[in-house]
Amino acid sequence: MMTHPAESQINDYVDDLLEPAEAAAIAAHVAECAHCALEIERLTALKNSLAQLPRAIRPPRDLRAGIRESVGGARGRVLWSLRVPLAAAAVLLIAFGSIVTLAVMNSRRGGDVAQRDRPEVRLVARAARLLEREYAEEVRELELVLRKSRGALSAETVRILEENLAIIDRAIGEAQRALAADPNSGMLVDLLRSAYERKIDLLRQAAKSSPAT
Amino acid sequence: MRAIPAREDFDILYEQHVGRVYAVCLRMCADRQEAERLTQDVFVRVWQRLASFRGESEFTSWLHRVAVNVVLEDSRAARRRTDRVEHVEDPAAYERGGPGGAESDARMDLERAIALLPSGARQALVLHDIEGYKHEEIAALLGVAAGTVKAQLHRARRLLRERLEA
């Protein structure tokens, strides 16, 4: 008389969790047992149906008003007005992560020291220096404005601002290091410019949002 | 020189990800109003923790983990919830609009059947068979042994088949 596998064994077989010897034994049994073959067929069909369910379901209504309310109050409104540049800071780091890594890998694979003396390389390096000078002045001015109005912001707003400025400064630092390794990369100059623009945008919005300005 | 993508704001993040978050919340809690509340909670938490996201993983994966954690924390905190079978009050929760058809009806039957599972079995099934978590990952999330997760999963599948094949 055949010994039918237990429910747990059939499930593990369908989930491909069995050791080869045990899986082979079940397969051999299934080849001779219509009942178990049908069990496995139906369980597999169920798994396939579940795997094909849509991953996203649109909620029946827009939930953003409730989210804003939960963030809440005057403090929430200040934070909400900063949502664009704050989210942009995190999105910036998401984008930076892979691009800077790729750029550094390319530079390790690619050039030698002699490449850095090529005219086009010197041109890109000069563009990066000009960019830094151009933005550094505006950043300094905005930081001064923000320092004066900091007392009018809530502690939480200040904390979140500082954390996000740190994220952007980290992105700027990574771009600068990557440019030092690969001074020929116009893409990294673009990244650096983008990071500075986000920093300036965040500082402007913070200064504008402060009740004191 | 390659252009840098334009920055995203929170509204765009919401538009891109709310469907995914709501689906996880709805299937795991089996109640539309609760799913809406939990979806809001997820986005509030994402908003609060966006500054701490350091890009160590894909943003979508990070957001998904936040959603699962919010739902499970709420489930643990809700002492009134038991393992009774829960009924979805509004079957429209699973309607996706557009022309119906046998495939669409079958999908809705499956969604309704999932909603009727006991909560422990439902969570194990949703996390494993729909969201793709491994037994050990689910065990860590739920604070139970991997064997318990398997048992709940197998039970969920059996109950689903009994309902759908009846």
A144-157 pLDDT, tens digit each: 877 777 777 777 77
Q: Say whether residue A82 is in contact with chain B using an 8 A CB cutoff.
A: no
Chain B environment of A51 (Cβ under 8 Å): 129-130
Gap from B79 CA to chain A (nearest CA, Å)? 23
Chain B environment of A54 (Cβ under 8 Å): 23, 96
From the CB of residue B66, how many other CB atoms can be counted at a distance below 10 Å?
Answer: 18
- Cβ of A84 and B10 within 8 Å? yes
Residue with tokens 């739920």: B142
Q: How confident is the model at residue A48 (pLDDT cuts 50, 70, 90)?
A: very high
Q: Round to whole Å and give the CA distance between A132 and B100.
A: 59
Nearest to A168 by CA among A129, A130, A145, A142: A142
- Cβ of A57 and B129 within 8 Å? no
Chain A environment of B5 (Cβ under 8 Å): 95
- B118 token code pair: 């006991």
ipTM of the complex: 0.81
Poorest-pLDDT segment among A47-56, A170-179, B105-114, B138-147: A170-179
Nearest to A167 by CA among A202, A208, A209: A202
In our burial notation (b when 16+ CB lie closer than 10 A, e otherwise), range B5-28 reads eebbebeebbeebbbbbbbbbbbb
Q: For residue range B25-34, what is the model confidence (pLDDT) as tens digits? A: 999 999 999 9
Gap from B162 CA to chain A (nearest CA, Å)? 11
What integer is the mean pLDDT of B126-148? 93
Q: For residue range B44-94, what is the model confidence (pLDDT) as tens digits? A: 888 777 766 666 667 788 888 899 999 998 888 774 444 444 444 444 555
pLDDT value, residue B132: 92
Nearest to B72 by CA among B106, B115, B20, B27: B27
pLDDT value, residue A200: 82
Q: Round to whole Å and give the CA distance between B39 and A76.
A: 19
Q: Round to whole Å and give the CA distance between A210 and A91.
A: 24
Treating both helix axes as pointing N-terminal to C-terminal, what angle do A83-109 and B59-77 enclose, rounded to 10 degrees? 130
B 62-81 residues with CB < 8 A to A: none
Q: How confident is the model at residue B1 (pLDDT cuts 50, 70, 90)?
A: very low
pLDDT value, residue A131: 73
Poorest-pLDDT segment among B12-21, B81-90, B121-130: B81-90
Q: Say whether residue A55 is in contact with chain B using an 8 A CB cutoff.
A: yes
Q: Is the pLDDT of residue B153 over 70?
A: yes
pTM, 2 dp: 0.60
Q: Say whether residue B103 is in contact with chain A using an 8 A CB cutoff.
A: no
pLDDT value, residue B46: 84
What integer is the mean pLDDT of B87-108? 59
Q: Round to whole Å and give the CA distance between A174 and A102.
A: 12
How far apart, in Å, are the Cα atoms of B50 and each of A29, A161, B47, B63, B77?
Answer: 53, 12, 5, 10, 24
- A103 token code pair: 């750029």
pLDDT value, residue A71: 67
pLDDT value, residue A79: 53
A94 membership: H or E segment, kind and range? helix A83-109
